Every structure is written in structure tokens, then in C-alpha cells.
């Protein structure tokens, strides 16, 4: 019995020794390799070289020594730790934070899509020419203009008043026509206007109405002036004395500018820029339709209509 006991004890000791040896010689599990672009790992999240490069470019200092690099890495480790802690605290569930994150994601997606589209976006010569023709009258044509002086009496459309003032304007017209050219300058007409016009705006300006575009107008008073000026060609020319519901008029042409058209070559760059902007807008709208078309949306409008809304304090 004692012999058997000694054998058993030796056998157990041998197994224990072998077990210790085996445990000592057992290999530790090999850690997963760390990617070459990882500079640190914070709570399982890597700090990557591309992130480091981004922040490095934001630095005002261009010192590249070891201390500067390590300082920035520590800053990024701190940021990563705070970001993880913020998520753990549920900050990312805050509506304001979610909106800011959404804004960044949306802007990033649109910018990337825009860069791709813009690289391929070209405006053809035919598009430029078509735009020019379409907008020629309103955008690239300067209407004819006249600068006129006017003598006017407000007859209120009443014949007796027109008959009273007509001889006065007729006499002034005859005087101006018969006088030498040098005596009917702007100053001479201006002195006449003070005593012989009821048009408050121009009376003390020598009857001068300034430059007026020769285009259709809803202003009936101005329409009469433009119609009278239409037949005047040279500075100093006088209209006949004209009576209408708007009053009694005598118009003198001071100057005239003919219609002018900007040639295509002068506005080509402007047109191309505008066409590019329109095309970008169209592509952006199409992109929005594509994104929405690929999304599954469920609407619960009854909840929206029942929802109590709060307004910001006034």
C-alpha cells in the first residue's frame, strides 16, 4: 500500500510538472495586425494618418519636429476620447447635434456630386448662341433714349383751359423757331419753363425731364411726351403744341441716343457663366430627385397635424 501510494504521488507530481511546463510553453494569442495608417487606437477606434494630415494642414506653424507631431497626436487622442465619451453620454442623440451632423453629411454628398458633375459639364457654342438670341431684346439691347424739355399746362382735359393756354405756347414756339440757334440754348428754354410750365418736377430744371427710354409705358403723361419726341431728330427741334386729356404740351429735343446692341463676343463669357449656373442648378435638382427616388418614405401626416407646436419667445 505504501509502495502504491508513493507511485501515485510521483505520478501526480509528474502530471503537475508537465502541466506547468505545458502552460509555460503555451503560446500567447497573436494580436491582430494594426493597419499602417493607424497612429493610435482609442477605445477601439483608430486615429488614422489621413485625419492627422487634415489637422496638420490647419496648423499655422510649419515646424515638423518630433515634439510638434507628438503634441498633435495627443490632441487627436484627446478628441477621440471625448467623442467616444459624448456618444456614451447620448450627446449624439440630441436633435441639434443630429441636425449639425446631417448638415455636414448633406453638404459633403452634394459637394462630391457637384465636383463630379462640374468636371464633365461643358457649355456648347450652340447653347451660347441660343441664349443670346433668346435674351437679345431684354438683356443685350439698350433701347433708344431721348432727353427732352417740356412746357406743360394742366388743362384737366377741358377744352376751355386748353384754348386759354394754347396761344401762349404757340407764341413761345414761334419765338423759339424764329430766333437764332444760339438764343435757344438750354438756359434760354429754362427761363421760359419757369414762367410757362406747370410741371413741378421739371419746371425749375429748365423743363428738363432727363434721359427717357423710348419704350412702351403705362404712364399716359409720359406716353404723350414720347410720341411728340418721336418726330424730333436734331437737338433744339420743337414739337407742335399738342392738346390731350393729359394737358397741353410743347416738347423740345435736347439729345438723342439710338438703340445699341452688345455683340455676342462681348457677352460670351457672361452667357457661358450663366448657362453653367443654370446647368448646375438643374443637375442639383435631378440629384435631389434621384436621392428621394431611391428612398423608402412613410409619412404619418395625422400625427403632424395633431402635434402641439411651440413658438420661440418674442
pLDDT in single tens digits along all 314 residues of the chain = 444 344 344 433 433 333 444 444 455 666 678 888 999 999 888 999 999 999 999 988 878 889 999 999 999 999 999 999 999 999 999 999 999 999 999 999 999 888 887 777 889 999 999 999 999 999 999 999 999 999 999 999 899 999 999 999 999 999 888 875 444 555 667 789 998 999 999 999 989 999 999 999 999 999 999 999 998 999 989 999 999 999 999 999 999 999 999 999 999 999 999 999 999 899 899 999 999 999 998 988 998 899 888 877 65
* Residue 39 is assigned to a structural domain of this protein: yes
Task: Give the per-residue pLDDT at 23.
Answer: 45
Does residue 148 share a domain with residue 215? yes
Does residue 242 share a domain with residue 166? yes
Structural domain of 106: 94-125+262-291
Q: How far lies 9's CA from each of 12, 13, 146, in Å?
A: 5, 6, 128
Burial class (CB in 10 A: 0-12, 13-18, 19+), 295: exposed
Task: Give the per-residue pLDDT at 82.
Answer: 94
Q: For the domain that residue 223 is a member of, what is the CATH number?
A: 3.10.50.40
Cβ count near 85 (within 10 Å):
11
Q: Alpha-carbon distance 314 to 297, whole Å?
A: 35
Cell 390731350, located at residue: 244
Does residue 250 share a domain with residue 285? no
Domain count, the chain: 3
Does residue 267 share a domain with residue 120? yes
Does residue 155 share a domain with residue 100? no
Does residue 281 share a domain with residue 169? no
Does residue 86 share a domain with residue 104? no
* Residue 307 is assigned to a structural domain of this protein: no
* Residue 186 is assigned to a structural domain of this protein: yes
* Residue 13 is assigned to a structural domain of this protein: no
Does residue 175 share a domain with residue 266? no
Does residue 145 share a domain with residue 249? yes
* Residue 86 is assigned to a structural domain of this protein: yes
Give the pTM.
0.59
* Residue 53 is assigned to a structural domain of this protein: yes
Q: What φ, ψ does residue 287 adopt, rounded to 5°?
A: -65, -40
* Residue 57 is assigned to a structural domain of this protein: yes
CB 190 within 8 A of CB 269: no
Does residue 170 share a domain with residue 238? yes
Q: 92 — alpha (psi -120 to 50), left (phi > 0) or beta?
A: alpha
Does residue 145 share a domain with residue 46? no
Q: Alpha-carbon distance 31 to 111, whole Å?
A: 40
* Residue 134 is assigned to a structural domain of this protein: no
Does residue 171 share a domain with residue 242? yes
Amino acid at each position: 500500500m505504501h509502495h502504491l501510494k508513493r507511485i501515485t504521488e510521483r505520478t501526480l507530481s509528474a502530471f503537475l510538472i508537465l502541466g506547468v511546463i505545458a502552460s509555460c510553453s503555451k503560446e500567447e494569442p497573436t494580436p491582430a495586425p494594426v493597419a499602417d495608417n493607424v497612429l493610435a487606437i482609442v477605445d477601439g477606434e483608430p486615429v488614422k494618418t489621413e485625419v492627422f494630415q487634415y489637422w496638420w494642414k490647419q496648423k499655422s506653424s510649419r515646424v515638423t519636429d518630433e515634439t510638434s507631431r507628438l503634441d498633435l497626436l495627443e490632441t487627436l487622442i484627446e478628441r477621440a476620447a471625448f467623442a467616444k465619451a459624448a456618444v456614451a453620454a447620448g450627446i449624439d442623440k440630441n436633435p441639434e447635434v443630429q441636425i449639425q451632423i446631417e448638415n455636414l453629411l448633406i453638404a459633403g454628398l452634394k459637394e462630391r456630386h457637384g465636383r463630379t458633375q462640374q468636371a464633365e459639364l461643358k457649355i456648347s457654342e450652340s447653347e451660347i448662341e441660343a441664349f443670346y438670341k433668346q435674351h437679345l431684346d431684354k438683356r443685350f439691347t439698350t433701347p433708344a433714349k431721348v432727353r427732352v424739355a417740356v412746357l406743360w399746362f394742366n388743362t384737366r382735359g377741358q377744352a376751355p383751359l386748353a384754348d386759354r393756354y394754347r396761344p401762349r405756347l404757340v407764341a413761345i414756339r414761334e419765338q423759339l423757331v424764329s430766333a437764332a440757334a444760339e438764343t435757344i440754348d438750354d438756359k434760354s428754354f429754362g427761363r421760359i419753363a419757369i414762367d410757362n410750365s406747370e410741371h413741378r418736377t421739371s419746371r425749375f430744371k429748365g423743363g428738363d425731364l432727363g434721359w427717357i427710354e423710348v419704350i412702351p409705358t403705362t404712364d399716359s403723361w409720359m406716353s404723350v411726351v414720347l410720341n411728340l419726341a418721336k418726330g424730333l431728330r436734331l437737338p433744339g427741334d420743337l414739337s407742335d403744341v399738342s392738346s390731350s386729356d393729359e394737358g397741353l404740351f410743347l416738347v423740345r429735343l435736347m439729345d438723342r441716343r439710338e438703340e445699341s446692341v452688345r455683340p455676342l463676343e462681348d457677352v460670351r463669357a457672361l452667357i457661358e457663366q450663366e448657362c453653367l449656373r443654370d446647368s448646375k442648378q438643374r443637375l442639383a435638382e435631378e440629384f435631389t430627385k434621384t436621392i428621394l427616388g431611391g428612398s423608402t418614405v412613410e409619412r404619418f401626416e395625422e400625427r403632424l397635424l395633431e402635434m402641439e407646436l411651440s413658438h420661440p419667445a418674442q
